[in-house]
Amino acid sequence: MANETEEQDLKERKEPDPSRRNFLKNSGYAVGGLIVGGVVGSLLRSPNKSTTNNTNNNGTTENKTPANETVNFNQALMYFTQEQFLITEAATERLFPADDNGPGAKELGVAYFIDHQLAGEWGVNGREYMQGPFYKGETTQGYQGRLKRREIFDIGLQEMQNYSNKKFQKKFKDLTPEQQDEVLKDFETDEVKLTTISASGFFKTLFGSTMEGAYADPLYGGNGNMGGWKLKNFPGNQMSYTKIIEQDKFEKMAPVSLREHLPHS
């Protein structure tokens, strides 16, 4: 059960900052080099049309977002409970914190990304071999458990909560950042002894999906405002680098996401 502060937390979740819209407006889509794939070239939309990532909300329902503000309808949950979401958000922010370089996991929407991934094929190990018999193998043989990622997250997040309560008498999200790091470290090093899953295995999956959520195309709900890409000066989805491939100077380019590949009216 979510308590009041948690609900408050969710309600106060900030809408994306206005710089996002400005940025997208300004990101002219320059196509370098020769485009031969007809289908690719012809469907590129013009750069000055429909530049926001979100649909306008015209305020027909009661909503604290003012009319004409953009909302990100993607920021809702497909799998997690509120409690799971808040633990994930707090934990991923420690793994990938906001700093002088730029946004951290929370601002990038990493916890939404993980939620959405768990809701789909990846969450149920849909394209992985999950038939028995199950035996404990050598580490060289990889994961041999019967649990699917969703179940591993269910257990892992609950265990993080339990461990926090036991060690610090508080929920994970209410711990100080240093305490949260301690909990994470204890999972990373198997200091926490779990019977159902491997604590370090869960930590690895959590860390891996945090990096994915920071850097995958924003279409998946993370890498908000392409903020992850901007951290690394990664230009995203460009059509061609023929013009710069030989050049000695580092080329800074405004990143472009896959959304620019479809016409949006």
Footprint of another protein on this chain (CB under 8 A)? Answer: 33-34, 36-37, 39-40, 43, 94-97, 99, 101, 104, 121-122, 125-131, 133, 135, 137-144, 181, 184, 188, 207, 211-212, 214-217, 219-220, 228-229, 231-242, 244-248, 250-251, 258, 261
Question: What angle (nearest 5°) sits at the alpha carbon of residue 67, between those of residues 64 and 71?
Answer: 65
Tokens at 63, concatenated: 């909503």
Nearer to another protein, 61 or 141 (CB): 141
**How far from the centroid of its chain's Cα atoms is residue 66's Cα?**
26
Nearer to another protein, 18 or 33 (CB): 33
Distance in Å, CB of 142 to another protein, minimum: 4
92 and 105 Cβ atoms separated by less than 8 Å: yes
Question: What angle (nearest 5°) sits at the alpha carbon of residue 94, between those of residues 76 and 79?
Answer: 25
Residues for the chain: how many in total? 265
Is the bond preceding 235 in cis, omega lying within 30 degrees of 0? no
Nearer to another protein, 1 or 36 (CB): 36
Question: What angle (nearest 5°) sits at the alpha carbon of residue 103, between those of residues 99 and 108?
Answer: 150
Nearer to another protein, 44 or 155 (CB): 44
Distance in Å, CB of 117 to another protein, minimum: 9
Distance in Å, CB of 177 to another protein, minimum: 10
Distance in Å, CB of 27 to another protein, minimum: 16
